Amino acid sequence: MIVLLTILSLILGLAYGLSGLELPLLTFFSQHTDLVLYLLMFTVGISVGLHRGLFRKIREYHIKIFIIPIGIILGSLVGGLVCAAMFHIPLGQGAAIASGMGWYSLAGATISQIGGSELGSIAFLSNLMREIFSFIIIPIVAIKLNFYTCIAPAGATSEDTTLPVMLKYTNEETVVLSVLNGIICSFFVPILISLCFQVS
Amino acid sequence: MDILLVMCLGILVGRFFFPQKAKKWNEVASLLCTLVLIFSMGAMLGRKEGFLHQLLTLGTQSFLFFLIPTVLSIVAVYILTKRFMKKHDGKDKEENA
C-alpha cells in the first residue's frame, strides 16, 4: 500500500510539474520541502523515542554499527566499476557515479561539474532510481532476507525519505541503524566522488 | 546537521512526553510527510527543462548504474550482517507488533 502511494505521489508530482500549473497550496509545499523534511525527522524521532530499551541495544552493537555502511559503500563501488567496464568509460568515473548511493541531487550536480553533463545526468538519474526503487525493494528484502539488509538499497537516503518505509516494514532498532547509516554514507558521498575522479 | 538536531528533539519528545497510544497518528504524519516530499521531488523534476528527453536517452545506462550497485550493496550487507550480526538477526516481529 505504502509503495503504491509513493509511486502515485511521484506520478502526480511529475504531472503537476509538467503541466506548468501553479496551485498555491501545492506550490507552497513543493517550495518548502525543508520544513516538511524537518517535520518528517521530528516524527521519526518520536517513533524512535517511543521504543523502550532501544538505546541499550544500540550500545550492544558498538563498532558493528559500521558493518552496514561498509557493505553499502563496497557494493556500490564494485557495482560502479562493473558498469564502467560494461559501458567502456573510465573505471573511476563509473565508481564516482555509483558513489552517490541515492543522493541524486548532490551526485548529479557535482559530477556534472567535474565530468560533464552526460555523466552528471547518468549520476542524477541512476541515484534518483535508487531512491525511488528503494520503496519497492525494501518490503521485498524485509520478507526474503533480513531487516538490516533493507538499509542497503536506500544507501545515503536511509536517514530521510526512505525512513518511513523502513519504519513500516522493519522495526525501530533497524530505523536507528538506518539513520546512523544515512549519516555515515552521506558523509562519504562527496569524498568518494572526488576521490574516484582523481584516480580516473 | 540541523535535521539530526530535529530528530534528536523528536526522540526526547517521544521518550518523555508523547503518549504511546498516539503512536499510530505519528506514523500517519510520517507517511504524509514522505508523500509530500516525493510529490515535490516529482514536481521539481517535471519542471526541469528536457527531463523526459533526458530520461529516454540515458535511461538504460542510468538503470544499470542503479541496478548493479544496488544489488551488490544488498548482497554485501546481507553477507556481512549474517556473518557479524548473528546475535541480532533483526527480524524481531514481536517488538514491532
Q: If we measure between CA atoms, which residue out of A154, A48, A64 comes closest to residue B86?
A: A64
The answer to whether position B96 is within a domain reads: no
- State the smallest CA–CA distance between residue B22 and chain A in angstroms: 10
Element containing residue B17 per DSSP (H, E): none
Per-residue pLDDT of chain B (97 residues; tens, 9 = 90+): 576 688 789 989 998 898 988 888 998 998 888 788 778 877 877 887 777 777 777 788 999 999 999 999 999 999 999 988 865 555 544 444 3
Helix, strand, coil percentages, rounded to 5, for chain A: 85, 0, 15
Integer Cα distance of A15 and A18 in angstroms: 5
Backbone angles phi, psi at A129, to 5 degrees: -60, -40
- Over the Cα atoms of chain B, what is R_g? 20
Give A146's DSSP letter. Answer: -
CB contact under 8 A, B77 and A155: no
How many domains is chain B built from? 2
Please determine, for the modelled complex, whether the ipTM score is greater than 0.90: no
Q: Is some CB atom of chain A closer than 8 A to the CB atom of B49?
A: no
CB contact under 8 A, B84 and A67: yes
**Same domain assignment for residues B21 and B42:** yes
**Same domain assignment for residues B22 and B32:** yes
End-to-end CA distance of chain A: 43
The answer to whether position B18 is within a domain reads: yes
Backbone angles phi, psi at A146, to 5 degrees: -135, 170
Cell of A187: 558523509
The answer to whether position B92 is within a domain reads: no
Looking at residue B96, what is its pLDDT?
Answer: 41
- State the smallest CA–CA distance between residue A189 and chain B in angstroms: 14
Looking at residue A58, what is its pLDDT?
Answer: 67
Looking at residue A84, what is its pLDDT?
Answer: 94
Looking at residue A187, what is its pLDDT?
Answer: 79
**Same domain assignment for residues B5 and B29:** yes
Q: Is some CB atom of chain A closer than 8 A to the CB atom of B28?
A: no
The answer to whether position B93 is within a domain reads: no
**Same domain assignment for residues B40 and B57:** no
The answer to whether position B95 is within a domain reads: no
**Same domain assignment for residues B6 and B36:** yes
Which amino acid is located at A160 in the chain?
A: D
Q: What pTM was estimated for this model as a whole?
A: 0.71
Looking at residue A71, what is its pLDDT?
Answer: 95
- CB–CB of A74/A93 below 8 Å? no
> How would DSSP label each residue in A24-77?
HHHHHHHH-HHHHHHHHHHHHHHHHHHSTTHHHHHHHHGGGGGHHHHHHHHHHH
Q: How confident is chain A (200 residues) per 10-residue block, as mean pLDDT?
A: 72 85 81 81 82 68 84 96 93 94 81 79 88 91 92 90 86 85 84 86
The answer to whether position B76 is within a domain reads: yes
- Which chain B residues have a beta carbon less than 8 Å from that of A127? 66
**Same domain assignment for residues B44 and B54:** no
**Same domain assignment for residues B38 and B72:** no
Looking at residue B37, what is its pLDDT?
Answer: 76
**Same domain assignment for residues B9 and B28:** yes
Looking at residue A54, what is its pLDDT?
Answer: 63
**Same domain assignment for residues B11 and B28:** yes
**Same domain assignment for residues B38 and B78:** no
Looking at residue B1, what is its pLDDT?
Answer: 56
Q: If we measure between CA atoms, which residue out of B5, B9, B31, B30 comes closest to residue B18?
A: B9
Looking at residue A199, what is its pLDDT?
Answer: 84
Q: Is some CB atom of chain B closer than 8 A to the CB atom of A19?
A: yes
Q: Residue B69's Cα: distance from chain center in Å?
A: 17
Tell me the CA distances in angstroms from B2 to A78, A112, B79, one per residue in order. 32, 27, 34
B36 is in which domain, residue-wise? 1-48
**Same domain assignment for residues B60 and B82:** yes
The answer to whether position B26 is within a domain reads: yes
Integer Cα distance of B54 and A128 in angstroms: 13
Q: Is some CB atom of chain B closer than 8 A to the CB atom of A112?
A: no
Integer Cα distance of A143 and A42 in angstroms: 28
- Which chain A residues have a beta carbon less than 8 Å from that of B60? none
- CB–CB of B85/A60 below 8 Å? no
Integer Cα distance of A138 and A147 in angstroms: 9
- Which chain B residues have a beta carbon less than 8 Å from that of A164? 27, 30-31, 33-34
- Which chain A residues have a beta carbon less than 8 Å from that of B49? none
**Same domain assignment for residues B57 and B24:** no
The answer to whether position B94 is within a domain reads: no
Integer Cα distance of A55 and A52 in angstroms: 8
CB contact under 8 A, B78 and A173: no
Smallest Cβ–Cβ distance between B46 and the set A14, A47, A161 belongs to: A14
Burial (CB count within 10 angstroms: exposed 0-12, middle 13-18, buried 19+), residue B2: exposed
Q: Which residue of A has its CA nearest to B49?
A: A18
